[in-house]
Amino acid sequence: MAAFLSQEWFDKVDELTAAAGDLNIPPAVAGMVMNVTVTGAPDGSVDLALNGGNFERGHNASAGTKLILPADMLRKIFLEGDAAAGMQGFMTGQIKVEGDMSKLMTLQSARPSEQQKALFKQILELTA
């Protein structure tokens, strides 16, 4: 087990993602680039980018949208697939959006492929 968003966690996620091969990313998400700043992670704030359906470390200069949210909310939405938590977080101000909000709507309506669901399950199992 690795602490969520720790360096060890990112290293293990990179290994699992590489081993997973083609994730059959939905077309609406495949071309999307969105920056994410996560607060409350074990090592403080963490900058990520959602790029083509995969998370990468650091922000991407080509992103036109940025999400700011707490680590527990990121875990619920992306790893546990809890869409209701995302809506609740947005409505209560826990999730802040800067830039093109239509990207967030696209992301909300996209359904993960079976390959993505299997990868998310593996990631969740290694996450402390």
CATH (domain of 47): 3.30.1050.10
pLDDT at 105 over 80: no
Judge residue 27's burial from the number of C-beta atoms within 10 Å of its C-beta, 0-12 exposed, 13-18 middle, 19 or more buried. Answer: exposed
Confidence of residue 28 (pLDDT cuts 50, 70, 90): confident
pLDDT at 65 over 80: yes
Judge residue 50's burial from the number of C-beta atoms within 10 Å of its C-beta, 0-12 exposed, 13-18 middle, 19 or more buried. Answer: buried
Taking a C-beta distance cutoff of 8 angstroms, is the pair 89, 108 a contact?
A: no
Please state the domain count of the chain.
1
pLDDT at 110 over 80: no
Answer yes or no: is 1 within a domain: no
pTM across the whole model:
0.86
A 10 A CB-CB count for 18 gives: 8
Q: In terms of C-beta distances under 8 Å and separation of at least 24 residues, what long-range contacts does 44-48 make, across chains too?
A: 46/5, 46/71
Answer yes or no: is 12 within a domain: yes
Stretch 73-84: mean pLDDT: 86
If DSSP codes are grouped into helix, strand and coil, which group holds residue 30? helix
User: By residue range, what is the domain housing residue 14?
Assistant: 7-126
pLDDT, residue 43, reads 84
pLDDT, residue 69, reads 96
Answer yes or no: is 2 within a domain: no
Stretch 6-19: mean pLDDT: 92
pLDDT at 47 over 80: yes
Answer yes or no: is 109 within a domain: yes
Percent of the chain topping pLDDT 70: 100
Answer yes or no: is 56 within a domain: yes
Answer yes or no: is 22 within a domain: yes
